[in-house]
Amino acid sequence: MEQLLLLIFLPLAGAIVTAFAGKSAKIVSTIFSVVSLGLALVMACNFIPNASTQFEVNLPWIADLGINFHAGIDGISMLVVLLTNLLVPIIILSSYNHEYKNAAAFYALILFMQCGLLLVFTALDAFLFYIGWEAALIPIYFICAIWGGKDRIRINMKFFVYTIAGSLFMLMGIIYLYLQNPSHNFDIQAFYALNLDSAQQGWIFWAFFIAFAIKMPIFPFHTWQPDTYTAAPAQGTMLLSGIMLKMGIYGVIRWLLPIVPAGVHDWGQVVIILSIIGIIYASLIAFTQKNAKRLVAYSSIAHVGLISAGIFAFNQQGMQGAMVQMLSHGINVVGLFFVLDIIFARVKTNKIEELGGIAKVAPQLALTFLIIVLGTVALPGTNGFIGEFLLLMGVYNYGIWATAIAGLTIIFGAVYMLRMYQNVMLGETNSLTITFTDIKGTEKLVLYTICALIIVLGVYPKPVLHLTEASVQHLLEQVNQKLNTVN
């Protein structure tokens, strides 16, 4: 119990200390994030990879309303807890060559967001889950609005309105479930045990799904994403793409599927169709992008579309593929945005047509960028391959038509990502890139770490699969059993 409480609230303590650390904020936030990573690794080493919930804490909070501080970790949540605590120090280290105005507030907000994310990924009480969901939104809004680029206020207002609207739908669903619960509490197991008819499950499905789909995002709820990813500071984009969109995927797996299986059964095909449309749409738009950062943003929509299709295919392969790909996508997309941040810091542009020849003057950057791109396009032997393979297998078991179309994400992704790499890194240098300098210091540390993870997880993914397998299997059995009861 003490370990989990420390894991959740250590970043919050770090945020408070960092806010008053002045010029030392960068170092202080790094220390807290690395300690959090160490604690998460210790918990992972002590974690038994079965279907049970471990490190559980259940303390009365607002007793009159049946609200408890109830949190715990199983194989599914352990994966995203590890991802969060791994990426936060990487993201902080990636900022070391930047000098942000009011840096103490900037780094404090990152740690505060980490606390909110960990609440989301460990909450076993719906009210606590909602608190974490909203707590994670507040800091990223200010990070993007204060330190973002051109037109950031308008863009972030759109992002804020989208996410708040989705959150309100989810809140209505949570309140309804609370009122239907004879125990009048927000405990996740009590929500799982509710016997709701198909009509009730249908509208609750959409109340939750819209909130999760906006966060992921899935077509047609994605329109906030490309502008926000482009306008946000690099570290804000990494937080959004590497971790925050996993909130939506995790919410579907942890809350949507077990609570309203009949709703998933009735509407799952619609979601798969939307996901596949999103894959094709985002891939085609990515082909036309002249800004590398926007291209990666649309690439992320396509990859998340495949993850969504794999989840709603509702089988062991699809779910396991979604879990692995959450981890792989988080690592790869942070790497991509960091490389683009390095390029922008040196030449003040991410326009593809204005770049070229960087490999000649920065071979180490070119090599690490190539490894990250190959992981993103799912080359066998990289971390992206095993996840996409399992996802496509899961979708194939659902329907061959869906696989034939969804599989285009690999072909399209390889074309536009490799073409972007060719135009940015290869060819002749120009007046902008001739003076380009290679990576050094923390840039090397971050990129070498990401590349090592891409290769190690690609060559030996067994620990990740073993970590989640029992929990995924238990979830599927639980949902199928409840679905049979409803039917």
**pLDDT tens digits, 241-295:** 999 989 999 999 999 999 999 888 888 889 999 999 998 889 889 988 899 999 9
Of the candidates 168, 162, 171, the one whose C-alpha atom is nearest the C-alpha of residue 140 is: 162
Q: What is the mean pLDDT of residues 173-201?
A: 89
Q: Which whole-number Å values give the CA distances from 158 to 214, 260, 296, 431, in the listed order?
A: 12, 30, 20, 37
* Residue 54 tokens, joined: 């471990």
* Residue 391 tokens, joined: 């996802």
CB count in 10 Å sphere of residue 469: 19
Q: Which whole-number Å values give the CA distances from 167 to 133, 135, 186, 386, 423, in the listed order?
A: 8, 12, 17, 33, 40
Task: Tell whether the torsion through CA atoms of 409, 412, 417 and 420 is positive or negative.
Answer: negative
Share of the chain above pLDDT 70, in %: 99
Residues 366 and 436 sit within 8 Å (Cβ to Cβ) = no
**pLDDT tens digits, 473-482:** 999 888 888 7
* Residue 294 tokens, joined: 């926007």
Q: How many residues does the chain have?
A: 487
pLDDT of residue 83: 95
187 bridge partner residues:
125
Backbone angles phi, psi at 350, to 5 degrees: -120, 15
C-alpha 424 chain-centroid distance: 26
Q: What is the mean pLDDT of residues 148-157?
A: 80
127 bridge partner residues:
none
Q: What is the mean pLDDT of residues 142-158?
A: 83
CB count in 10 Å sphere of residue 353: 10
Q: Which whole-number Å values give the CA distances from 449 to 246, 400, 446, in the listed order?
A: 21, 38, 5
pLDDT of residue 487: 56
pLDDT band at 408 (very low <50, low <70, confident <90, very high): confident
